[in-house]
Structure 1
């Protein structure tokens, strides 16, 4: 035994290795995956020091005892580290560079056996060894730009020298996980083998290097010297890349372009100087708001998934699902279930509706085939998981039914009571409703404890969120089963309590209310859209209403007005939407709303300006005012954030993390801002309350802060723990 720690062991001569070969194995005892936490880095430092002092070694193999190799740094430590400031971050980076450089400089050949995911710091560690062998099922990547960062442990230095600057820029800026075949083609790894042959292949490479057949010293020199690119080649490689990457990333995500600049600036330098350039750039990104919020987003996502996992572990698996209604939503849910290998019945009362649902499913499967996501055999198999039916004949064997018929209380009552008589006593019923109270929908059911809401978002195959809604009589088993089913079909479920609009729509409609008030005061809806899209929304409120559909927005707005009359009962908030409905301008589905829609070459609706819509909106304005960008943002964001706070205070949603993730996954809240509650904290609660009070004085209760929020502002409280706390 050369070294023994809690996460790392180093031994001589394990398995087929001779006594001259050392094996360093990562296996964090307290975790399901390996991460490079500060404690693991400390162990690695000790282990590498011990390796350097060991006599008679002729090679080192680095591997993992877990399914994944190393999934990266321990992201839970990032906020605390970043809060310590520039010098603390620099010290950490220098320490890791010193360790990885020591591995690279060991006086014998080294190889990494990549048995599973090797991401971020795990990938960078493997780049420090002379060779890499990869299992067929493993993946390799540097996803740091997705956290608003860039590779800081040598990835920006070593990868371009291994696979070329252009390929490295694509890997780093894109942040994708790369399959073994791609990694081999690019030159990032030296061999791809079956998982069973991984260790033997790694040891074979060490033997060939020791015998002089493979020149490991030349490999090291290549990684440590400047890139072999002339000035013209550099300009062609990097200048065009910066423009392309900036266009893909957008103005709110600076890390991908910063990473390209690091590779460019370090291209003419040796290892140590290039790493210093990488370190300085990493620190700049780490101290920015985008990285803070995207790291927070990652942590929130992990917390939400952990909560969902706790629910799912209490549930019986859903082996057979069913969907009532083969319309847009029902067909989408049925496709999603079948695409994840969960058999599903799709029932409707009309044969033409069934055929339309099947046609949509086939189209979506065909797109998967075109993109190489499915083979023809897999497509055929998954289509067999979707069975259309006009009767309840097979419903006795169904574990969970999703009702997705028209958004009408009487229709849903009739369908739910009918299906309850046709399923087994333990079957779970769920309603895909966006507005109707789950408690009211359960009124006619004999087993209301087996009923809950399951609100999907459109289009189902793209939107990750599912709201699982607990009514007054909903039992834990129903919630657990519905959460388990949502996870099984690839969705992120968030459990919320019943109220008008549940969580996402309840928060969204005050945003629309603020937009309605702006229209009443003469704001230009196209300018409002532009401002909010620059703020970070995927589409502005007018465009979003067109996509939602004016009739749907009108119905949901009326539900909100009935449920929260003081804040959402003002007719002015809905006047423009009502006028659109009256003029049959329902949005994209009717070809006209705030904008007109024309099909592009791919058959997708493309918005264009429509003078009739502009005249209609202008004619409804009670006054004409000019608004600054800051005023437009405040008028829309303040009511949205306040309603999020109220949902948290009312117990509609359990945690700030769940609230923020629901808005990001459900309505596209700008991810780089971290969610409504993160945005509030970035603004400063005291400043936000003051702004809201000023707006409430002019515009009414929609903008009035809650008393609890006022108290939080006075006492310096937060929704999230302070970084480093």
Structure 2
């Protein structure tokens, strides 16, 4: 592959420090060249701009390989490599020069694959994207048990691992496992833990000692020596990066074909990056590394200039930026949190207690009127930490320490000195007001009170709280452990100090907080319910429920509407729908079909593969079906009870899935526009952050507001695009 053209490196200067030192490892006679990577300032993320890549290339070229027996690349304590410089990629998207940037990476990393001596990567911290691809170009990888995640997250960002991942990873761990890592786990935002990496064969050694330990060098050096010795004993072993082996595990083409079918079933063509990655993996079976590099460079240059890749990278940068800085946090100090109280001992309360203890490392006191439930809740938290220790997610000592922080209250006095109290009681306004009124009289006047409500009016709750300026909505989403969004709901009386405290607490919990004005449904639930409304109306009007369920497939959402219905529960969704109808009767309707589903006691509207429940019958495809076709039966019962609408497109048999999709897009554009006008959110991008982090809407959609702009829905409904409003 030809060398890339000169690059504008001054615009994206290197933030990587690279030093090379020759040292003789224990028990050896000849020196090893040790390349140490660090960031500027030291100890941060190692990010590869084109300038940094050129720096790495020159550093490897400067090693006299006749004088050393190996080359070892070592990262800093936090990062072996965090990937490409996304600012430079976005610049090159507009400039049309992304292929040059990718070629520079192949040239730099290729120096290690082509080295005349064995090469090693010591994964001191996280190795993501280009960081892991660099490591794949070396012959061996050594990690440590407490290290950061490993992964190739590019497909989640609307691109693909173009610096050799599509070639080297399948040749190292097999095509099926590689595709899972770089495509499906990537889109899900899942990385590989060090122990998983060892099982996969992604790393050759896993050390117990990490870079924070004084014995770090004394741990990885013998591991390198051991692998060197093994290599000398097996002098015929091929070298040259991770292309050294082709693991067994079935046909290469079968793995690719299966993945393509899976991708189509999940994303229906809405995600071009995974398909590009799969095409390159398919070709990698017979290509050389350099041939694959050339193909990946060309493919990346074409893909990255598309609208979806541009919107996707914009949304990723938006979400990433929000995780570092919340734009709506007041410029006043928050209160110090030294002790937390959680009212309730049900599942949500238990999960919150565990999250507070692990995030804040302060005492957390649970309280509940049911003493047996309270005892079970405290026990559940302790067992949860123990299970996490068994899974290697923390040490047994840490699990014991965290469990000791969570206790049950023997009396109100045990919570009198908490700095922050959150109620996690049933979604009933009378219960919540009574709970908050009681505890407001127990706590100090300056203690912050919060509610974890997902739908009820925070302003009405505040009426039960003396000093309501210290009250705030603190909506943590399920699953509590993994959903990174937190909606902070303010009332007209919430003071800046309380709001700052909520933002600081969210940051300590590693949650991205979005400030929301108090309004029915807040952001995520309001958008989801508005998305649901046209679907339910179509079913009410006679559209086949299965056809309606798949009308939104082209959006590539993580669940179809009816899958989401099953996840939430028909009764819950129907109740929330009634609440939204009461608030906005002209835009949210009460579905007769949904009412009939709830009336019949149906808790799941889709068949499952979990095995037949009592009285169920098999449908012949490994799925289970209820004793009657209840989707259609409920729809028919609803139609009988509903006055026919002669104008209904569904009754005339003219509704097409594409028309329903358009109805949904127009409804979302309208609702987001109204939320902006009402001041529920400050900016359209807040909706994008909320839906990506709170509802797991995919990055490859590019954010819902850019998508609605792209398809013309915003212009049709509002007369202008969201992007235009953001520039004003």
What TM-score do the two structures reach when normalised by structure 1? 0.80
Q: Quick one: distance in 1 between partners of 2:101 and 2:508?
A: 39
8 Å CA contact 1:438–1:469 kept in 2: the answer is yes
C-alpha deviation, 1:11, in angstroms: 4.4
Gaps spanning 5+ residues in structure 1: where? 693-704
C-alpha deviation, 1:97, in angstroms: 1.4
Deviations 1:156-209 (A, max 9, x none): 333444455555445434445444455456554454442344445666688899
Match of 2:691 in 1: 663
Change in Cα spacing, 1:220 to 1:279, as seen in structure 2 (3 Å) is farther
Match of 1:237 in 2: 252
- Report the more deviating stretch, 347-356 or 212-221: 212-221
Match of 2:4 in 1: none
Change in Cα spacing, 1:136 to 1:673, as seen in structure 2 (3 Å) is same
Q: Quick one: distance in 1 between partners of 2:409 and 2:236?
A: 66
Q: Which among 14, 33, 38 is matched to residue 45 of structure 2?
A: 33
C-alpha deviation, 1:442, in angstroms: 1.9
8 Å CA contact 1:438–1:453 kept in 2: the answer is yes
- 1:641 counterpart = 2:664: no
C-alpha deviation, 1:633, in angstroms: 0.9
Q: Which among 490, 495, 515 is matched to residue 495 of structure 1?
A: 515
8 Å CA contact 1:8–1:28 kept in 2: the answer is yes
8 Å CA contact 1:266–1:277 kept in 2: the answer is no
Q: How does 1:339-378 map to 2 (within 5 A)?
A: 343-351=363-371, 353-354=373-374, 357=377, 373=393
Match of 2:707 in 1: 679
| Larger relative helix fraction | 1
- 1:147 counterpart = 2:157: yes
8 Å CA contact 1:209–1:215 kept in 2: the answer is no
8 Å CA contact 1:225–1:271 kept in 2: the answer is yes
Gaps spanning 5+ residues in structure 2: where? 1-12, 617-622
Match of 1:80 in 2: 91
Match of 2:353 in 1: 334
Match of 1:479 in 2: 499
Change in Cα spacing, 1:84 to 1:137, as seen in structure 2 (3 Å) is same
Deviations 1:20-39 (A, max 9, x none): 76544333325831111233
Change in Cα spacing, 1:498 to 1:15, as seen in structure 2 (3 Å) is farther
Q: Which among 80, 90, 101 is matched to residue 92 of structure 1?
A: 101
Q: Which among 690, 715, 724 is matched to residue 717 of structure 1?
A: 724
3-state DSSP of counterpart to 2:460:
helix
3-state DSSP of counterpart to 2:407:
strand
Q: Which among 124, 129, 134 is matched to residue 120 of structure 1?
A: 129
C-alpha deviation, 1:116, in angstroms: 0.9
Q: Quick one: distance in 2 between partners of 1:244 and 1:361?
A: 38
Match of 1:262 in 2: 280
3-state DSSP of counterpart to 1:346:
strand
8 Å CA contact 2:549–2:560 kept in 1: the answer is yes
C-alpha deviation, 1:420, in angstroms: 1.0
8 Å CA contact 2:609–2:624 kept in 1: the answer is yes
Q: How does 1:298-447 map to 2 (within 5 A)?
A: 298-308=316-326, 311=329, 314-338=333-357, 343-351=363-371, 353-354=373-374, 357=377, 373=393, 382-389=402-409, 391-447=411-467
Q: Quick one: distance in 2 between partners of 1:545 and 1:142?
A: 32
Q: Quick one: distance in 1 between partners of 2:281 and 2:608?
A: 43
C-alpha deviation, 1:652, in angstroms: 2.3
C-alpha deviation, 1:417, in angstroms: 1.9
Change in Cα spacing, 1:130 to 1:336, as seen in structure 2 (3 Å) is closer
C-alpha deviation, 1:712, in angstroms: 4.5
Q: Quick one: distance in 1 between partners of 2:382 and 2:510?
A: 19
3-state DSSP of counterpart to 1:26:
strand
Match of 1:43 in 2: 55
Q: Quick one: distance in 1 between partners of 2:497 and 2:317?
A: 27
User: RMSD value over aligned CA atoms?
Assistant: 4.4
Q: Quick one: distance in 2 between partners of 1:208 and 1:554?
A: 63
Match of 1:622 in 2: 645
Q: Quick one: distance in 2 between partners of 1:666 and 1:213?
A: 49
8 Å CA contact 1:303–1:657 kept in 2: the answer is no
3-state DSSP of counterpart to 2:526:
helix
Q: Quick one: distance in 2 between partners of 1:83 and 1:606?
A: 51
C-alpha deviation, 1:490, in angstroms: 5.1
3-state DSSP of counterpart to 1:659:
helix
Deviations 1:205-229 (A, max 9, x none): 8889999974999777454978668
Change in Cα spacing, 1:461 to 1:221, as seen in structure 2 (3 Å) is closer
What is the number of equivalent residue pairs in this alignment?
A: 682
